[in-house]
């Protein structure tokens, strides 16, 4: 399984915000790929609704080889059981945080990641 297939598999475990159907791998479309960064569109073909765009980072050590089955092992489930589940308040807090970011939100992204994401058009505009 390559990195994009793993991303599709990850999102296929989620449900549409509008109709609650699970996403299929076909619902996850690759918009752009840079070194270690995948930008994907999440679109529910069942109800024909846009659910969002996500930027997903993949570590260099994992990018160029096949991935194991993404199902969690018993050991991983036990380790994760130590943490409280994400609540609606957690999601709302994250939403408020993102909405309240000012125009300088890119300062939260590591500089080396920003550098990798620059397109040739952006670089020529910066000059």
| Distance between CA atoms of residues 100 and 51, nearest Å | 21
Per-residue model confidence (pLDDT) at position 38: 93
Whether 122 has a pLDDT exceeding 50, the answer reads: no
Q: What is the mean pLDDT of residues 64-70?
A: 54
CA distances from 37 to 4, 7, 34, 47 (A): 10, 11, 5, 28
Condensed to tens digits (0 to 9), the pLDDT of residues 72-93 reads 777 887 887 888 878 889 889 8
Selected residue with higher pLDDT from 126 and 94: 94
The single residue listed with the structure tokens 């752009």 is 32
Q: For residue 108, how many C-alpha atoms fall within 13 Å in the half-sphere facing its CB?
A: 7
| pLDDT grade for 124, boundaries at 50, 70 and 90 | very low
pTM to 2 decimal places:
0.50
What would the pLDDT profile of 4-61 be if each residue is shown by its tens digit?
Answer: 988 998 899 899 999 999 999 999 999 999 888 899 999 999 999 999 999 998 876 5
6 closest CA partner among 52, 50, 75, 64: 64
State pLDDT tens for residues 94-110: 888 888 887 777 777 77
């Amino acid at each position: 399984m390559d990195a994009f297939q793993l991303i599709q598999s990850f999102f296929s475990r989620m449900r549409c915000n509008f109709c609650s159907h699970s996403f299929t791998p076909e619902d996850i479309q690759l918009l752009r790929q840079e070194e270690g960064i995948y930008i994907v569109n999440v679109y529910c073909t069942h109800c024909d609704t846009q659910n969002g765009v996500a930027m997903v980072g993949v570590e260099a050590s994992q990018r160029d080889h096949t991935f194991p089955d993404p199902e969690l092992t018993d050991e991983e489930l036990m380790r994760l059981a130590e943490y409280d589940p994400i609540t609606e308040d957690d999601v709302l807090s994250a939403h408020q945080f993102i909405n309240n970011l000012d125009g300088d939100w890119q300062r939260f992204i590591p500089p080396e990641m920003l550098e990798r994401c620059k397109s040739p058009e952006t670089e020529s505009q910066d000059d």
